[in-house]
Amino acid sequence: MTTLRLVLGDQLTPEISSLADTDRGRDVVLLCEVAAETGYVPHHKKKIAFILSAMRHFAGELRGAGLEVDHVRLDDPANTGSFAGEVARAVARHGARRVVVTEPGEWRVLADMQDWQSALGIPVEIREDTRFFCSRARFARWAEGRRGLRMEFFYREMRREHGILLDAAGEPAGGAWNFDRENRKPLPAGSQPPRRASFAPDAVTREVIDLVARRFASHFGDLEPFGFAVTRADARRAFDAFLADCLPHFGDHQDAMKTGEPFLWHAVISPYLNVGLLDPRDVVRAAAAAYASGRAKINAVEGFVRQILGWREFVRGIYWLRMPGYGDSNALNATRPLPAFYWTGETRMNCVAQAVAETRANAYAHHIQRLMVTGNFALLAGIAPAEVEAWYLAVYADAFDWVELPNTHGMALFADGGYLASKPYAASGKYIDRMSDYCGACAYDVSRSDGDGSCPFNRLYWDFLMRNAETLSRNPRMAMPYRTLARFTPERRARIRAEAQSFLETLA
Ligand code: DLZ
Ligand code: SF4
């Protein structure tokens, strides 16, 4: 009896549960490039090329290991354009009597998948995705009965449960769970981040690049130069280079931004983790080993581990706990359309222009650019959450709904009213000035909050606090800014509101 084993574009892991009991003489592995997935948002060209090339290389890897692989290409004239259509065609083609698949990362796809069994008339087994530290059921158990879900407590539990960065007595290595306070240093002048690993496209990637150039010419983003790793071996090389060159410096300047330095000391492995080319358990253990052997300090390693064992697992847990419907809330009643400069980069706000330009070039921006520049602007300006979410989902190579939605809806936009974050990550231009070199080269003056040429982030920040006072002023973590605001004269407050309004009216 032939089993058809479907592997999705973000499941490129040989140990994926859908392949666990493959009968090599009989079963067929199906990978399919489908228009529904390349088109549910207008993905960055580089993101599409990365995923399709990684899928084609993965198919080759499985064939090399002796599996029978059926890989349906996007330009196959018979391609139906959807997972359901391609599974149905493949079942008929191979006479399969059963379908096995690992649960997808997105609610949208899972909902569709749940109809397949009745549509196909054969068993469809949907297996757990075991590539995470914390299963969906484990997270639900942790969340049960808690009033507020806070990453910090979840993360400590994960550290203990998986024995990561603990000393001999089972206490946190270095004497604390969290070294974030040491990780917010601005960049000293003249510091030089290392050159980053880049992988020249091989023939398979070149073919994909040509396909993407033809089919997705109108999509956002530069397709070339293309330097992503598209195989497990190259992804591991990129990660090893990070361990050697970047991890020792990773913590100190984790929140810094610098013109012309899109990667700084960041790992840039999120695309590889999220499609399955790297295993989160391997990277966490390798980072912990770098601390144990004295190659990196605790603030660097703990900061890195927190992102993967803590934050990444936490947002996935929240996503599955709250879907469907997590994205429906709009706690701050934000309704403004997404400004065109999110796509064009054409704005006099230098920080935003830099973040968008780097996003266009690399399908990547680091977390402070995403959170404190483009995310912060959308929060302060009251951009409709669904429009902001669709943008993040489209433009970043690592963006899949399970990770993008909680990060954007909950963390950046506070649209869930504080379910995921205890306060909005709202900041004025002062923060951006402290953490970057953007303001010096900007047309606006970061030292002023009102008057011609004053920094829009400043005006919008105070306007945001006034506009949302009813919801936010009761939040104890917002007490400081509201106290500062209370010292403004009524005239100054009125002027800032009027100037914020006239700035918002210029957005198109
Ligand atoms: C993101 C993406 C893209 C652009 N293309 C494909 C594809 O052609 N075939 C495929 O299997 N997966 C693709 N993906 C990833 C899927 O969107 C992802 O597997 C689902 O969102 C479920 O998480
Ligand atoms: Fe951004 Fe304001 Fe600084 Fe300009 S002055 S770069 S708009 S924070």
pLDDT band at 258 (very low <50, low <70, confident <90, very high): very high
Interval 266-278: pLDDT, tens: 999 999 999 999 9
Mean pLDDT across the chain, nearest whole number? 96
CA 73 to centroid of ligand 1, rounded, Å? 13
Ligand nearest to the CA of 109: 1
Q: Whose CA is nearest to atom 7 of ligand 2?
A: 349
Question: What distance in angstroms lies between residue 368's CA and the mean position of ligand 1's atoms?
Answer: 26
Query: Which ligand is located closest to the Cα atom of residue 32?
Result: 1
- Confidence check: pLDDT of 259 > 90: yes
Nearest to 258 by CA among 180, 346, 354: 354
Burial state string for 465-496 with b = 16 or more CB within 10 A and e = fewer than 16: bbbbeebbbeeeebeebeeebeebeeeebebb
Test site for ligand 1: of 10, 69, 103, most ligand atoms within 8 A of the Cβ = 10
Query: Kind of pairing, strands 68-72 and 98-102?
Result: unpaired
The CATH T-level fold of domain 341-504 is DNA Cyclobutane Dipyrimidine Photolyase, subunit A; domain 3 (1.10.579)
- What 3-state class would DSSP assign to 172? strand
Pocket test for ligand 2, best of 428, 438, 445 (most atoms within 8 A of CB): 438
Q: How confident is the model at residue 188 (pLDDT cuts 50, 70, 90)?
A: confident
Domain segments of the chain as ranges: 3-127, 136-194+246-322, 341-504
Q: Give pLDDT, residue 249.
A: 87
Matching CATH number, 136-194+246-322, of 1.10.390.10, 1.25.40.80, 2.60.40.420, 3.40.50.11810? 1.25.40.80
Ligand 1 lined by 463 (C-beta under 6 Å)? no
* For residues 202-213, average pLDDT: 98
Distance of CA 393 from the midpoint of ligand 2 (Å):
25
Mean pLDDT over 322-348 rounds to 97
Which of 439, 449, 461 has most ligand 2 atoms within 8 Å of its beta carbon, as the pocket-test mutant?
Answer: 439
The CATH number of the structural domain formed by 3-127 is 3.40.50.620
Q: CA triplet 306, 311, 313: central angle to 5 degrees?
A: 110
149/126 Cα distance (integer angstroms):
28
Determine the distance separating the centroid of ligand 2 and the alpha carbon of 244, expressed in angstroms: 34
Residue 406 has pLDDT above 80, yes or no: yes
Pocket lining for ligand 2, CB < 6 angstroms: 349-351, 429, 432-433, 438-439, 442, 444, 446, 455-457
Range scoring the smallest mean pLDDT among 25-34, 253-262, 282-291: 253-262
- 413 Cβ neighbours under 8 A, 6+ residues apart: 332, 334, 375, 378, 379, 383, 385, 388
Q: Report the pLDDT value the prediction gives residue 251, as an integer from 0 to 100.
A: 75
Q: What is the tens place of the pLDDT at every residue in 105-164?
A: 999 999 999 999 999 999 999 999 999 999 999 999 999 999 889 999 999 999 999 999
Closest C-alpha to ligand 2, atom 1: 351
Omega of the bond leading into 225 within 30 degrees of 0 (cis): yes
* Ligand in closest contact with the CA of 86: 1
Cβ of 30 closer than 6 Å to ligand 1, yes or no, is: no
175 in Cβ contact with 445 (< 8 Å): no
Residue nearest (by alpha carbon) to ligand 2 atom 5: 446
Q: Decide whether 3-127 matches 341-504 in CATH topology.
A: no
Q: Report how far ligand 2's centroid is from the alpha carbon of 269 (Å).
A: 29
Would you say the CB of residue 375 lies under 6 angstroms from ligand 1? no
Task: Return the best residue to mutate from 444, 452, 507 for the ligand 2 pocket (most ligand atoms within 8 A of CB).
Answer: 444
